[in-house]
Amino acid sequence: MSILVNKDTKVIVQGFTGKEGTFHSQQCIDYGTKIVGGVTPGKGGQTHLGRPVFNTVKEAVDATGATVSLIFVPPAFTADAVMEAADAGIDLAVIITEGAPVKDMMYAKMYGTKKGMKTIGPNCPGIITAEECKIGIMPGFIFKKGPVGLISKSGTLTYEASNQVVKEGLGITTAVGIGGDPIIGLSYKQLLPLFEADPETEAIVMIGEIGGTLEIEAAEFIKQNITKPVVAFIAGQTAPKGKRMGHAGAIISGGQGTAQEKMEALRNAGVHVVESPADIGKTVAQVLGK
């Protein structure tokens, strides 16, 4: 078992024939993901990486039965691509693109929600169900199968955490990189119950960072609804106020969104909060008694 995606999930790629789209689609295919086609307006009818190319998402969905779209479309056109996916009946859009305007993503997410489509990202590594299905840009080999669900705002920190978990002799069910932009799709609060319901997931790792209040909301949710052990790390304990730390959302503004207040809220919710990012794997092993 896993959450959201598995070995049978049919995936199309928007921005299929571009440089990034081509490289990462090939990597996903090599991992075993069922990439069933792609969309590049104007290139419909061609074949790329041995898969059909379509002009529109609707055509791709009708022809292939895809339910997930992986999006590499450049920032100025990302929202358009997301809304096209929603309009075509896609269930889940995984948005890799970095640098999409916040206003665009605000509208795109609202429209996606209206059409019943979930989104992940933007500006994220994507989602991977270990040894089954990789929909994103993460290095697949790090994610060995095991009992730990992973939710993270940061890309390389996701790899770091998974690597530590695997080094402890454990592994991952599904890992979701949710991204660190001010507006993102699925977040802790929506993903935690999926892991709670997944019989193979025994523990959950959540990695947060400074800025916003998603981790605080997650803490409240965990307190009420989650029975599986949760291990958390919040990046940016040493970040100064008012300075943006790389991610568009990673800024402490008006004294809000500090690592300390998030760690405190999570601790109060019974979460195992680690202060050092080197202790994530160890702590997971401890709480699972392994």
Binding site for other proteins (CB under 8 A): 27, 75-76, 99-104, 106-107, 109-110, 137-139, 141-142, 152-160, 163, 180, 182-183, 207, 209-210, 212-214, 217, 233, 235-240, 242-250, 254-255, 259, 275-278
Rounded to a whole number of angstroms, the minimum distance from the CB of residue 26 to other proteins is 11
Measured from the CB atom, the residue of 69 and 78 that comes closer to other proteins is: 78
Q: Is 48 a catalytic residue?
A: no
Measured from the CB atom, the residue of 204 and 207 that comes closer to other proteins is: 207
Q: Are the CB atoms for 93 and 115 separated by under 8 Å?
A: no
Measured from the CB atom, the residue of 37 and 125 that comes closer to other proteins is: 125
Rounded to a whole number of angstroms, the minimum distance from the CB of residue 248 to other proteins is 7
Measured from the CB atom, the residue of 80 and 275 that comes closer to other proteins is: 275
Rounded to a whole number of angstroms, the minimum distance from the CB of residue 45 to other proteins is 30
What's the CA gap between 72 and 85, in Å, rounded? 13
Rounded to a whole number of angstroms, the minimum distance from the CB of residue 158 to other proteins is 8
Catalytic machinery residues: 247
